[in-house]
Structure 1
């Protein structure tokens, strides 16, 4: 089998890790896969048995997305990254990959250039094809023109393919990156990457045992979104007086202990509220839920589209990041979800929004959700040499 090395760096939430792992699952039929994780290890996170995992010393950021934190055992970020660089080169030399996939870079994660550029150069020197794996919306910068020029320079120098995990009819990359036409490598939209069938926990296997309606609350990794957890927990008292229901809350694997304990203390007084830190089976819960209340990350949003559940989404706006706002507001325009604004985070007012949402029927929409299958096809064809480097895929939105 051909060999593939996949680099993923999650530094705040877990969305990049979840999306990358779904892509990996689609590649294992054709490739011997080595998955390199640069972020914190999540206990109980499901990984296919046939995937070789390399966990680098974890780098993460503060909740405001401003600065990288020094991992344990290192004096500074620079020494940690130098160690990680050497480890990446060792793995590359050992594996001799036919394909190197790098998640997000160079559209983001450029702080990791000191370890990524040497890796990419080493891989290219041995004839490896290099692929950038990118979500549908990228973070815009204060000096966007300069940022885009750097991205184009790196893409055109180092990369053989760009795979955009989105649907151009809904959200073309040009919405957040104007110079797609200046990229010289083939550019392909794969469709959205969605989670496959997950194991259904025993506690929700029997639908008849679930109090109805079921309200599912989640905030991804849990490093942010605490204001949403607080609001829902306090709204439980008002909801208890209005409708029969059960609230299942997941605070996230990285949620501070103080937040988890605060939620559990409220749940102890509110029989309609159950609080847990993490589940690897969120999609299974969402498929049974009557309403999902969550942050507006890529993967949670994909779960909403997959299940068709009613949804209230709170976009993350730390570090002036507009990615979640752009996607969720577009979906709200189409009647698929409802966006939570800061003024909505009043417990009594929020309880009424929940009651109102339960009375609504989501608008059915059709999106390309074949991102896993299409990604595998494009990578396989690139590896087989069936795609010319001069070939260029233009999104329908670009030629309209």
Structure 2
């Protein structure tokens, strides 16, 4: 069986980490499966790839905080870069001949770079099943509905795709209802629950021993995800350490993220020297292990980071990103409403209030009002396994 995976890659590491988690689980679940991952993420080579998974690296794009796409490293025009990426994706499908195509987030890919591949598969390999994977929240309903209408995404799903898998819960955010999916599309939607990842390195006790955490000390892990826009959060946390009461003994590990500019990482390293018990790292491939070792976490509101924290039943303070998308803000609000986290709007971020929230989380033991479903990986595996065994059932593609 052959699965081709398209991973959206214009900002941060969230999409890549989520798709790699799915690929790794599928390879354990299906012994006769080969997976080809197609992505432009610059961090692909930093992850351990299991046997059965290979990848094609596309030229990098970036949309930064402004939301405007551009070629990240090459001095090429956007249109030229997109044509190049589209050709590489098409060529991969032509030669790999996937039984299932799993597409992350955008039905046509970035700037419709998947369109020629979809057309090719429909014409030359019509038995290939096409699946769209959506995270729990994309953006505000108003913005998402407008974009999907302009881009023709509703029609794309109805014409091209066999299933829509949502890694989330309708109880927290009903994607089909919030984004006004027409009935034919809503019938294709399956809510799979959130994704739970396992640690691949040192476990909780081993890491706490490695970090020399004393029984009387609390460990706080600070992670701004990929880190490209995480500097204000880390800076506020470091400045807030002076507000710690003397009786609260805290050790801190700051994971800057591989995409945080080097100058900002160096500034954080310098600031951290003012405080004892602070360790700064650029990147770890065992984030789950560090989260598991923590007593509390300070993070942004990305899907992967937040669900990984909550899957470990950790107390967290979230400062969500609010541009260019409202995704993290909406997720933080929904999760806070259900007692799962504490959240601070970035416009109100102050060192003292951030540290007060951290202390409150270290002391809080109240149970949340909603229990999250973390069976996302086995549910996705079940849905895809069924697709390998049955022919497509959908309307013909548009001419």
Partner of residue 372, structure 2: 367
1:291 to 296, 299, 305: 296
Residues 290 and 140 of structure 1, relative CA distance in 2, 3 Å threshold: same
Select between 121-130 and 39-48 the one with higher mean Cα deviation. 39-48
1:350, distance to aligned residue in structure 2 (A): 2.5
Give the conservation status (yes or no) of the 8 Å contact 1:199–1:284: yes
Q: Secondary structure at the match of 1:209?
A: coil
1:366, distance to aligned residue in structure 2 (A): 2.1
Q: Secondary structure at the match of 2:273?
A: helix
Q: Matches of residues 237-276 of structure 1 in structure 2 within 5 Å?
A: 237-239=242-244, 241-276=246-281
Partner Cα separation in structure 2 for residue 157 and residue 61 of structure 1: 28
Partner of residue 135, structure 2: 135
1:361, distance to aligned residue in structure 2 (A): 1.1
Select between 191-200 and 290-299 the one with higher mean Cα deviation. 191-200
1:237, distance to aligned residue in structure 2 (A): 2.6
Partner of residue 327, structure 1: 331
Q: Secondary structure at the match of 2:46?
A: coil
Give the conservation status (yes or no) of the 8 Å contact 1:7–1:38: no
Give the conservation status (yes or no) of the 8 Å contact 1:137–1:176: no
Residues 71 and 367 of structure 1, relative CA distance in 2, 3 Å threshold: closer
Residues 362 and 198 of structure 1, relative CA distance in 2, 3 Å threshold: farther
Aligned length: 384
Partner Cα separation in structure 2 for residue 144 and residue 205 of structure 1: 43
Partner of residue 352, structure 2: 348
Partner of residue 80, structure 2: 79
Give the conservation status (yes or no) of the 8 Å contact 1:35–1:51: yes
Q: Secondary structure at the match of 1:318?
A: coil
Partner Cα separation in structure 2 for residue 92 and residue 235 of structure 1: 51
Partner of residue 213, structure 2: 210
Q: Is 1:384–2:389 an aligned residue pair?
A: yes
Q: Is 1:194–2:196 an aligned residue pair?
A: yes
Partner of residue 46, structure 1: 48
Partner Cα separation in structure 2 for residue 368 and residue 171 of structure 1: 13
Q: Secondary structure at the match of 1:215?
A: strand
1:56 to 55, 58, 62: 58
Q: Secondary structure at the match of 2:102?
A: strand
- Which whole-Å deviations, capped at 9, do the CAs of 1:344-378 have from their partners, x for residues lacking one? 52223322222222111142542221111111111
Q: Which blocks of at least 5 consecutive residues in structure 1 are unaligned?
A: 391-400
Partner of residue 111, structure 2: 112
1:121, distance to aligned residue in structure 2 (A): 1.2
1:111, distance to aligned residue in structure 2 (A): 4.0
Give the conservation status (yes or no) of the 8 Å contact 2:224–2:230: yes
Select between 38-47 and 299-308 the one with higher mean Cα deviation. 38-47
Q: Which blocks of at least 5 consecutive residues in structure 2 are unaligned?
A: none
1:388, distance to aligned residue in structure 2 (A): 5.2
- Which whole-Å deviations, capped at 9, do the CAs of 1:47-70 have from their partners, x for residues lacking one? 223201111111112223x21122
**Root-mean-square deviation over aligned CA pairs:** 2.3
Partner Cα separation in structure 2 for residue 165 and residue 293 of structure 1: 23
Give the conservation status (yes or no) of the 8 Å contact 2:165–2:190: yes
1:37, distance to aligned residue in structure 2 (A): 1.2
Give the conservation status (yes or no) of the 8 Å contact 1:156–1:184: no
Give the conservation status (yes or no) of the 8 Å contact 1:194–1:299: no
Give the conservation status (yes or no) of the 8 Å contact 1:381–1:387: no
Q: Secondary structure at the match of 2:56?
A: strand
Partner Cα separation in structure 1 for residue 186 and residue 355 of structure 2: 51
Partner Cα separation in structure 1 for residue 109 and residue 141 of structure 2: 12
Partner Cα separation in structure 1 for residue 251 and residue 11 of structure 2: 29
Residues 180 and 167 of structure 1, relative CA distance in 2, 3 Å threshold: farther
Q: Secondary structure at the match of 2:114?
A: helix
